[in-house]
Amino acid sequence: MRSESRFRGTFSSSIGAMENFAVKATTVILSIVLFSSFSCVSTQQEQREAKDAEFYNDWGIYFGNIGQYDQAIVNFSNALEISPRYADPYYNRGVAYAKKGEYDQAISNYTKALEINSRYVDACYNRGIAYGNKGQYDQAITDFTRVLEINPKYAYAYYNRGIAYANKGLYDQAISEYTKTLEIDPKGSDAYYNRAVAFYFKKEYGKSWDDIGKAKDLGYRVPTEFLDDLRNASGRQD
């Protein structure tokens, strides 16, 4: 039998906001102007700065969406120089670093976004993905759990928590997470496939075949290597 790592799933963005650039408009809290020309000037300056920060953030999103991640990072950094409490450029800069495979930098930026907005679900979810891709599965599980505390219907937070459990060899927990994913998204073919893999490692080959069939029905292309190993282990030639 081949190495288990060959068949474990990869962290996924099939549902949710993994590595998508945020386009939310920033909210600027302005001082109430009461008989003070200084306050008025200050407010106008804050408004101009907010617009400038949004301008750079929008350009960063543009460059990120066409794959020019270094240029995107420059623009997100420019936005943060103007408005250091603007969470979206931190999140977006994290996305750009993640796209480049620089997960430590991505984690740092997602963390800064969460320091500004502790309920920034997408930042927490993406940080979990980054931790997972670094092999730091306990940290990934913590972040996916935090996401689910905020949004219990975030299907692929369950899915990716399942991936993390599977990579730790905790297949019962992984199966439970994939099942929760499918309760929310019955068409999650990758959840069926990865649940089949977990059943395979538990030597529950019949259940594995059942899930392979469901994944195939939904159009999932099951890796030939896994099918070969499942046939050899189960004695079936489906």
Assign 198 a pLDDT band (cuts: 50, 70, 90): very high
**Residue 17 scores a pLDDT above 70:** no
Superfamily the domain 157-238 falls into:
Tetratricopeptide repeat domain (1.25.40.10)
**Residue 109 scores a pLDDT above 80:** yes
Q: Say if residues 190 and 12 touch (Cβ distance below 8 Å).
A: yes
Q: For 156-189, how does the pLDDT look when each residue is reduced to its tens digit (9 = 90+)?
A: 999 999 999 999 999 999 999 999 999 999 999 9
What pLDDT score was predicted for residue 6? 29
- CA dihedral in degrees (155, 157, 158, 163; nearest 10)? 130
Assign 61 a pLDDT band (cuts: 50, 70, 90): very high
What pLDDT score was predicted for residue 50? 75
Coil/strand/helix, residue 22: coil
Measured between alpha carbons, how far is residue 42 from residues 26, 39, 48, 54, 61 in Å?
A: 18, 5, 10, 18, 28
**Residue 34 scores a pLDDT above 90:** no
Q: What is the DSSP letter of 11?
A: P
Written as six digits, the tokens of 228 are: 């070969």
Domain borders along the chain are 17-153, 157-238
**Residue 90's closest CA among 73, 65, 70, 66?**
73
**Residue 133's closest CA among 90, 100, 158?**
100
Average pLDDT score over the chain: 84
Measured between alpha carbons, how far is residue 140 from residues 32, 127, 147, 171, 235 in Å?
A: 42, 7, 11, 16, 36
Tell me the Cα Rg of the chain: 22
Residues in Cβ contact with 145 at an 8 Å cutoff, skipping those fewer than 6 apart: 161
- Host H or E run for residue 23: none
Superfamily the domain 17-153 falls into:
Tetratricopeptide repeat domain (1.25.40.10)
Coil/strand/helix, residue 110: helix
Q: In which region does residue 219 sit, left (phi positive, over 0), alpha (psi from -120 to 50) or beta (all else)?
A: left
Same fold, 17-153 and 157-238: yes
